[in-house]
Amino acid sequence: VIGLVEQRRGGVPFHVHCKICGRPIAADREYCSRKCSDEAMRIQQRSKRISRIYMLIFIILMILLFVWSLSAGRQP
Ligand SMILES: [Zn+2]
């Protein structure tokens, strides 16, 4: 994100690009419009959900591994 910050010669203040559509916007804003901020929110929620699913899979794998190692250890 920092890499998107540009400075032009001639007194034009810092500006950044909208994270969604890439349009140049004022440096104190993150998105050019309500639509883009809504879109960003949707993407964020989706990625949060996906990382939660990965976390669940990881936990299940750990439990399986634990149960497997317990049952393997019990055998003579
Ligand atoms: Zn935008």
pLDDT, one tens digit per residue, over 9-25 is 555 567 889 999 999 99
- Band the pLDDT of 8: cuts 50, 70, 90: very low
CA 67 / ligand 1 centre spacing (Å): 49
Task: Say what percent of the chain tops pLDDT 70.
Answer: 79
Around Cβ 16, how many Cβ atoms within 10 Å?
18
Q: Mean pLDDT throughout 53-60? A: 98
pLDDT at 73: 76
Q: Model-level pTM greater than 0.85?
A: no
CA 16 / ligand 1 centre spacing (Å): 11
CA 22 / ligand 1 centre spacing (Å): 6
Q: What is the dihedral of CA 17, 18, 20, 23, to 10 degrees?
A: -70
CA 29 / ligand 1 centre spacing (Å): 11
CA 44 / ligand 1 centre spacing (Å): 15
Cα–Cα distance measured from residue 44 to residue 11, given in angstroms and rounded to the nearest whole number: 35
